Amino acid sequence: MISMNGRLALYLCLASLTWLEIGVAEEPANATHSKSPLIKLPVNFGSAMENTPVVFHGKPLLVLNRRDDTKNHTDEYTKSMYLYIQDLATGREVARFGAGHSFVNAFVDGPTMHAFASQGSNHDWFQSINHFSSTDLKTWKQEPAVPREGSEHLFNCSVCRDDHGYLMAYESNQPVMFCFKFARSKDLSRWEKLRGLIFTGEKHEYSACPVIRYFRPYYYVIYLHAATAGHKGWVSFLARSKDLATWQLSPNNPILEAGPGEGINNSDVDLFEWEGNTYLFYATGDQATWGSLRVAMYPGPMRSFYESYFPAGERMTTVSARVGTTRAETIEK
């Protein structure tokens, strides 16, 4: 019998060869249809949420976390938390580390696997973000990365390489629950926060679970938007910026929306490119009692995936991440 993750590997292979026969992801009848099809593959990882697919030493891996939220506000909560890595080809767990941490994100830099995760607590939510690194997935180094400030709590984060080194987008519950901020590093170890920039969407609104990538000259962020009129529950939006301050929202938002069997949530997106196609791993569920991990595919490279959501001549809403600004406008591009 083929395991669930073994079937995923099979689906990824078949999808990359026959994506036109699978069809575009089924969406609610009133959803805005993107001009760049994402194909939701017929596979489910079971109970999981935050994750990052990566390629490490030529192998596709999935970095995930486990936690039992039914134990929140008990002395057993942090004991339920850990980070782990699965081989996407075999479904086997190949590493376990980061006890007491959750909201994992991973980044591969040459021979080193880097993981970033928020440190949990039993009675005070999540704390600062720590950095884990390993070259063999057996021995892990742990060090502080991004500290929280005051009563702030930090959650999801995402790291990419850019022209200045490395950039992190990290989720906070302040000043808006939720929003995301930015930090820079030259070595993935020491991080400096970028003051004066906080992404809070178009109306200082819920903007969670950022995943950031850079393709010159644009930064692209996929993030979670709260339920909005005409769409089903929590949906994933896409924005781009040249300077991290002024952002354009894709005219084809949302890019992911819950379909049949997915509850009211398409969140916690992360993605990688494998053999010329782009795979988005995302969570379903109800944001309260259940969630599962699924995969959607874009038939082409990641840069093309992002660029296709910003077609020339389309009207786009522009928002500012500069602290103290409130302006949002729709412009022609």
pTM: 0.90
Highest mean pLDDT among 7-11, 13-17, 236-240, 284-288: 236-240
Please tell me the CATH superfamily of domain 4-332, with its number: Glycosyl hydrolase domain; family 43 (2.115.10.20)
State the amino acid at position 162 in one-letter form: D
- Say how many C-beta atoms besides its own lie within 10 A of residue 151's C-beta: 9
Residue 147 banded pLDDT, cuts 50, 70, 90: very high
Query: What pLDDT does residue 305 have?
Result: 97
Token readout for 7 is 């079937």
Residue 17 banded pLDDT, cuts 50, 70, 90: very low
Instruction: Spell out the domain ranges in the chain.
Output: 4-332
Say how far apart CA 37 and CA 20 lie, in whole Å.
Answer: 10
pLDDT in tens, 218-264: 999 999 999 888 999 999 999 999 999 999 999 999 999 999 999 99
Q: For the chain, what is the mean pLDDT?
A: 89
pLDDT in tens, 304-322: 999 999 999 999 999 999 9
Query: What pLDDT does residue 23 have?
Result: 37
